Structure 1
Amino acid sequence: MLGKRIVGIVRIFLAIVAMGTAGYAQDLPQPEGPVLLTVLGDLAVTNAPGRAEFDRKMLEDLGMREIETSTIWTEGTQVFAGPPLKAVADRLGIEEGTIRAVAINDYAIELPFSDVTEDAAILALDRNGEPMSIREKGPLWIIFPYDSDQRFRAETYHARSIWQLDTLEVLP
């Protein structure tokens, strides 16, 4: 009799733990505005089945960082602002893997996780203080601090600087 009670208590405990874990997986708020970024893959935190969706405010809330740099696609020095790619990874519990970045037109590139550092890429939302339209390579553009470090001036990083970004997929 006591054994059945213990088994019942253990089952209730496991059910409570499972419910708590499911709640944690939904810890990311729902977007209130248009979704600018969808992240797919093995995520610790989601807000939709199998993915995390971000609107502009949610991305801004991750912390904006400015990069003042020239690019091979623009004239003169530009000021880009957006959350670090690392802030997105940290918020979703991403710690390893390759990140496949996909643009609105399905153009895709892969970034090694070594690019996910505090001083590397940002997901630029703004250029020179203004949101970027699709025509202006927005709404998101992966930008590296090209002028601050010679390593970012290589073709490798230019190829990773995808614009009109709308999806990130974490690959194993």
Structure 2
Amino acid sequence: MSSLWPGRAVLTVSLFLLSSVALPLMAEPLPPPQGDVLLRVVGDIEHPNVGEELHLDRAMLKSLPQGVIETSTPWTEGVGRFEGPLLRALLEAAGTRSDHVRIRALNEYESEVPVADFHAYDVILALERDGEPIAVRDLGPMFVLYPFDEHPELLNETIRHRSVWHVGSVHVP
């Protein structure tokens, strides 16, 4: 039994040191964007970088933990490979605590989405399809994408309304 104790002590100390370094890094607000702002996160957030809002350009969005979804959608032809930040990672970067968000399109369409969706599924803010940026005329510059082919139960009216195209902002109540 005594041979296990040193290993446990090392593990405990290692976990403590890792958490004491990782937690402050996660709490660091992102710097202001250098490029064109693609997304604004507004409302009740802890980590703004421009006034009371979090503004993100393409490079910042791509620096967040990413997801890849290979799926067909109700709005596109065939199966595509979509890439973009996980929405749960985006909300973590903003420092949100709400149980829902309102995602607003550039044309003012808005949908309320429960944050639980982002933890139950790897929902992404799709920035690219098949390795290319998504053009505004093709649902871009980004859209909320659920893994439809992996979870066919998501192909329903409720989820289609939550899959906002032309995303411009996320509002946190």
Question: Do the structures match in fold with TM over 0.5?
Answer: yes
Within the candidate set 151, 154, 165, 1:163 is matched to 165
Count of residues paired in the alignment: 148
TM-score, structure 2 as length reference = 0.81
Q: Distance in 2 between matches of 1:146 and 1:157?
A: 10
Residue ranges of structure 2 left out of the alignment (5+ in a row):
1-25
The runs of at least 4 consecutive aligned structure 1 residues that moved more than 3 Å come to: none
Q: Deviations over 1:107-141 (max 9, x none)?
A: 11110121121733100000111001111111111
Within the candidate set 26, 29, 45, 1:27 is matched to 29
SS at match of 1:116: helix
1:95, distance to aligned residue in structure 2 (A): 2.7
Q: Deviations over 1:24-49 (max 9, x none)?
A: 98721110110000001111101011
Alignment identity in percent? 39
Task: Report if aligned partners of 1:97, 1:113 keep a CA contact under 8 Å in 2.
Answer: yes
Q: Which residue of 1 aligns with 2:77?
A: 75
Q: Distance in 1 between matches of 2:137 and 2:63?
A: 25
Cα RMSD between the aligned structures?
A: 1.7
Q: Give yes or no for the alignment of 1:131 onto 2:139.
A: no
Residue ranges of structure 1 left out of the alignment (5+ in a row):
1-23
Q: Deviations over 1:70-116 (max 9, x none)?
A: 01111111111000000001111213232101111111111012112
TM-score, structure 1 as length reference = 0.81
Task: Report if aligned partners of 2:70, 2:81 keep a CA contact under 8 Å in 1.
Answer: yes
Q: Which residue identity lines up with residue 161 of structure 1 in the other structure?
A: S
Within the candidate set 126, 142, 151, 1:149 is matched to 151
Task: Report if aligned partners of 1:26, 1:47 keep a CA contact under 8 Å in 2.
Answer: no
Larger CA Rg, structure 1 vs 2: 1
Q: Which residue identity lines up with residue 167 of structure 2 in the other structure?
A: L
Task: Report if aligned partners of 1:84, 1:118 keep a CA contact under 8 Å in 2.
Answer: no
Task: Report if aligned partners of 1:132, 1:138 keep a CA contact under 8 Å in 2.
Answer: yes
SS at match of 1:111: strand
